[in-house]
Structure 1
């Protein structure tokens, strides 16, 4: 290294500046500009010819995947862990990121795969205590752990283990490289350290998992480019007061996105939930008013979810609209449609909506179930327990068709429901209550009280 080059860079949009400023002039983000000191070495002027391969070459006949012993994680990743894949796992503190990856390392080692867990936050004795808590076997000889944060030392340690298959880096914000002079956790250190480990994964075929801290906004801390550099981005979600955890894929170069895996946090670690629909439904003989059952699709997996709505009189000039697990703006739109198209005036009520189980629903097919729950709560008429609802509602009040209808119907049938309220085609084993307009929901709920 000859000398260092100092500059300032925005961690939000990567814009560079010659001096520090409080607000980025490109993306207008406050407090995002920090010093980016990189050691400048010899400049290479002449490149070399890289090895050129054909798409139809020998790689098509090589096994590029490693079986994952945790079926829910395997489902989210697309079936196998591709050799040389780099995966970024983010989530709130204490949600179970390290526990999940520690269980993965131990189970991979039980299957005969050499695995290495790198901890930059805990000591080796602390990691061994956690492994004993989740039930590590004395026969597991191929699971290794070291406490290290230097990228150069990590690569050298990984090279010393023959036939290494899996490498866990906990966390990416603790990594540091000698080529960058700034402190660990800065944008330049995170970017440089991650790039070195990604290059190592591609050259050796070792699958690498990065654990990423998140900010108060729920985004992975560090430069946004980190999510573009890796092959897969996973988020671990769940309420802290709930035992359920949801693993969701946001980006996946080797499989479908928006797939979810459901886990349950127990004393001995995370256990897989084989039937998520059963977990998200309340076990009761009858539904109370304001409760409906929605058949949703998360990725390619159908799920039955319970929608709960509570309506209370309000003395505030602007009544409250509170949503947990759904979009507040979408709720406001449905309230307006019910008021204009059906005469159900909810403008003077506080409305609270919750998706049971801590699941976050983003698809518009939940409009029908939410509208039914709103009408049920407004009229104080419980909906039948054997009814499921799905369908998108437009501003005109029309019920629009949704995708993956057959999967939704089959899941409803499997879980024992008898009637589907939607605008879907007929089904042999289910009774279809066909609806084309939101006004028919109000009429159907009123008829239930007769």
Structure 2
């Protein structure tokens, strides 16, 4: 008997190797390389004639392709539709990831129970029993008489039931627990996740049903499983939120049918997840007496501006090595800005403990928060509160220059709408026409920015 061919693949990033090794060379993760069994290779043909059993491919010019609007239907939640790019696209595959308890199953159960009133929907639960799902739906006071529920982990059984019911929406919770009979590896392994997702995706493309896969995340917050799963799907969404916070953010990381990095905000209540139509309002719940080290910045999330309060605390260090803690912001960015502040701002706080925090649990990933962070640090260090009606945004370069950021006018209009009277922005983002009720100070260098708050 011929020996079965095997390969060694990393569970986290999908990199393959010819032999086992303790650490993956691509993602630097330890003990993630596992052995997988390869299927028999297909017999090669010596001629290109009769390719694919005599089927002919449809070759056409790019200009001849008919452009039609995508037929979407709403999820019933505007914030969910925003992240999806406008709603569900028939035949698309959506991957929803998040930490345990973040609200993945709650969000999908709410969505499917509402859509089942007008569309056929099938919810496949592989981790929870049908009784647990029914109890959650009853606790959330959801309509339960139209949604089809299936407790199964076998992909063949799931596809058989889907062929019988022909749902317009199909949810598989989760992709890490389902398996195929002809794949020998355990559920959750690279081979099982990849092959199971491929089979379910093939069904979605052929039937036109919307497929939603629920995925687990690793300790560092990234999606568990092979990276090839991210190439199979059409849309990747992560739901984020801590257990001590009632707010949840839904962020799009990949979307073939809409904008990437779109953000939706929800509030967890007794009746499930409720939409937050004005996220800036919840992130701006400040006390009446604003202390030093606090300032409001305007970040751009997907297709809309968002006002977020940033706080900093600069205090004398009692240890030889001062601490640098960043919550909601990038740690390396903080270290770089401290060096720029020392070099071009003339303030030496290298011997101080520095703590920064983005209020509300939101994660800031764009560079427009640089100027606000610097001014918050200076305010805390000098113990001088900044004006309550001040809003700040701008990127800072290593030479101390203030660089412009995209959509500056829209950010200023959003700030004016929430009652802010002053703004410190890059000179290139200064509006050509005055904005009613908002006084804009345009700065070109870090020195000018520091003088603007004196």
Is contact 1:117-1:144 (8 Å) kept? yes
TM-score (norm: length of structure 2): 0.91
Q: Give the SS at the match of 1:152.
A: helix
Q: Does 1:114 align with 2:117?
A: no
**Shift in CA distance, 50/27, structure 1 to aligned 2, threshold 3 Å:** farther
Partner of residue 52, structure 1: 58
Give the equivalent residue in structure 2 for 1:443. Answer: 451
Distance, in Å, in 2 between the alignment partners of 1:17 and 1:310 is 47
**In structure 2, how many angstroms separate the alpha carbons of the residues matched to 1:392 and 1:42?**
54
For residues 57 and 73 of structure 2, what CA distance do their matches in structure 1 show?
Answer: 26
Q: Distance in 1 between matches of 2:419 and 2:28?
A: 53
Query: Paired residue for 1:364?
Result: 367
Matched, 1:149 2:157: no
**Counterparts of 1:259-274 in structure 2 under 5 Å?**
259-274=262-277
2:90: which partner in 1? 83
Say which of 283, 286, 301 aligns to 1:280. Answer: 283
SS at match of 2:116: helix
User: Could you say what secondary structure the match of 2:220 adopts?
Assistant: coil
Q: How far 1:299 sits from its partner (Å)?
A: 1.1
Alpha-carbon contact 1:39-1:181 (below 8 Å) kept: no
| Cα shift at 1:397 | 1.5
8 A contact 2:84–2:258 mirrored in 1: yes
Check conservation: 2:114, 2:143, Cα contact below 8 A: no
Distance 1:13 1:268, change over 3 A: closer
CA distance in 1, matches of 2:44, 2:155: 23
Aligned to 1:258: 261
The match for 1:33 is: 33
8 Å contact from structure 2 (residues 95, 215) kept in 1:
yes
Supply the distance in 1 between the matched residues of 2:23 and 2:291 (Cα, whole angstroms): 51
Structure 2: any 5+ residue segments left out of the alignment? Answer: 46-50
State the secondary structure of the residue aligned to 1:282. coil
Look up the match of 1:69: 76
Mapped contact 1:38–1:180 kept (Cα < 8 A): no
Q: Which residue of 2 is the match for residue 388 of structure 1?
A: 391
Shift of 1:60: 4.8
1:130 aligns with 2:120: no
> 1:124 Cα deviation (Å)?
0.7
> Aligned ranges for residues 370-381 of structure 1 at < 5 Å?
370-381=373-384
Corresponding residue number in structure 2 for 1:398: 401
- Corresponding residue pairs, total: 441
SS at match of 1:65: coil
Q: Are residue 225 (structure 1) and residue 228 (structure 2) matched?
A: yes
Query: In the alignment, what sits opposite 2:165?
Result: 161
Shift of the alpha carbon at 1:28?
5.9
Between 228-237 and 60-69, the greater mean CA deviation after superposition: 60-69
The Cα offsets for residues 328-376 of structure 1, whole Å up to 9 and x where unpaired, read as 1111122112212222111111010000000111111111111111111
Normalised by the length of structure 1, the TM-score is: 0.92
Mark the CA change 1:347 to 1:406 in structure 2 (over 3 Å): closer, same or farther: same
Distance of aligned partners of 1:126 and 1:53 in 2 relative to their CA distance in 1, 3 Å threshold: farther
1:32 Cα deviation from its structure 2 partner: 2.2
Deviation at 1:12, TM superposition (A): 4.3
Query: Match of 1:175?
Result: 178
Output aligned runs, 1:303-314, within 5 Å. Answer: 303-314=306-317
Alpha-carbon separation, structure 1, partners of 2:78 and 2:305: 17
Q: CA deviation at 1:82?
A: 0.8
Structure 1 residues 279-358: aligned runs within 5 Å: 279-358=282-361
Structure 1 residues 214 and 28: CA distance shift in structure 2, 3 A: closer
1:63 Cα offset (Å): 6.0
Alpha-carbon contact 1:38-1:181 (below 8 Å) kept: no
Aligned-partner Cα distance in 2 for 1:297–1:26: 31
Secondary structure, aligned partner of 1:319: coil
Whole-angstrom distance in 1 between the partners of 2:135 and 2:4: 42
Question: Does the CA-based 8 Å contact 2:11-2:224 persist in structure 1?
Answer: no
